[in-house]
Amino acid sequence: MPYPEEAEGFQVDSPETHTNFNKRFFKLKPFGDYDVDIKIEACGVCGSDLHTISGGWGAQKFPLCVGHEIIGRAIRVGPKVTLIQEGQRVGVGAQSYSCGECKQCKNDNETYCPVLMMDTYGSEWPQTGIVSQGGYSSHVRTHEHWVFPIPEQLETNLVAPMLCAGLTAYSPLVRNGAGPGKKVGIVGLGGIGHFGIMFAKALGAETWLFPGLAPRRWMHESWERMDTLLRRRKGFDLAKYLSLMDVHGRWISVGLPEEEGQVIKAQNLIANGVLIGASHLGSRREMLEMLKLAADKGLRGWVEELQIGEEGLKEAMVRMKKGDVHYRFTMTGYDKVFG
């Protein structure tokens, strides 16, 4: 069957059984004029996968196949597709659709589209009843805007995590001015953090790494010096980090921890007029820029490869939950499983 109407992948059935992956067939959305069918070759393992299937982000549409750091081959393109060519190696990240018409979509803010936001997995395609399924599977079908050609210098298994973790670090860096003459701090060296370090440095910023809980000495040395801080970790003293920032510096939270939130007082912000924000993925334009930067500078994820399958996915989730990953897993060996 050259053009699949179904994909085969590994689904989870409930939060209680979230380390049990079940190999099944499921329907793809109807093929549209702008769609690209992709035969998957690798997929990075993102914290979002675990937050989603373990119930940490609330109710989900089970059964669900997660995975949204997808690299594969475009095997079919719709009649109106202009951005992707059949046979091209391509990637898909965490978002797979937005309205395309609103102010945000027309201004490189499609990840903030207020009209329609489709995640690569777990979102229901309007009027179909079909829930999007992710990249621990044989194929995805994705609108061309959300499909990205992969520069040939980048190795499939090492570039995969850039499709979500990489972009999640890259977008807020460029949107907040990381570059020569700027000081950037990254809090926590994980999947996103290790890309944050790489990209901030590649963009020319003086780049500092802060562990989850910064030693007092460091904080003192770098007082008043940070222009931008990215953080992912939860459970630390925000006010202490804010005191590291330069006047009107930006503290940008990336990713969505499973937490109750943090108490913020105007008093914590007023001493240096710091701004606190959060960032959601990045635009198509930023994705292409990031991939070019990575290709030009020889950047790649620090990846441990795991064989896709019931065992490999279980290992990924169990070890990720313990923080036993340096710094990203990529599921590989798709040809062995999906033939």
The rounded Cα 280 to chain-centroid distance in angstroms is: 9
Q: Which whole-number Å values give the CA distances from 114 to 51, 103, 285, in the listed order?
A: 23, 9, 19
DSSP 216-237: HHHHHHTTT-EEEEEE---SS-
- Told to check if 175 binds its own copies by CB under 8 A, we report yes
Q: Are 12 and 62 in contact (CB under 8 A)?
A: yes
* Dihedral over alpha carbons 55, 58, 63, 68 (to 10 degrees): -80
Closest to its own copies by CB, 137 vs 171, is: 171
CA distance 187 to 232: 7
Interface residue with its own copies among 260, 298, 322, 323 (CB under 8 A) is 260
Binding mask 222-241 for its own copies (x = CB under 8 A): -xx-----------------
Which residues, numbered 261-320, are part of the site for its own copies (CB under 8 A)?
261-280
Closest to its own copies by CB, 14 vs 109, is: 109
Near its own copies by CB under 8 A, which window of 67-75, 99-107, 191-199, 326-334?
A: 99-107
CB 176, min distance to its own copies, A: 9
Closest to its own copies by CB, 103 vs 292, is: 103
Instruction: Say how many residues touch its own copies, by CB under 8 A.
Output: 38
- Told to check if 216 binds its own copies by CB under 8 A, we report no
Q: Are 229 and 205 in contact (CB under 8 A)?
A: no
- Told to check if 112 binds its own copies by CB under 8 A, we report yes
- Told to check if 61 binds its own copies by CB under 8 A, we report no
CB 246, min distance to its own copies, A: 8
Structure tokens at 190: 């994980």
Q: Which residue type, as a one-letter code, is found at position 10?
A: F
Closest to its own copies by CB, 271 vs 318, is: 271
244 burial level (CB within 10 Å; 0-12, 13-18, 19+): buried
CA distance 114 to 296: 34
Near its own copies by CB under 8 A, which window of 29-37, 66-74, 245-253, 302-310?
A: 245-253
Interacting residues with its own copies (CB under 8 A): 103-104, 107, 109, 112, 114, 175, 223-224, 247-248, 250, 253, 255-257, 259-280
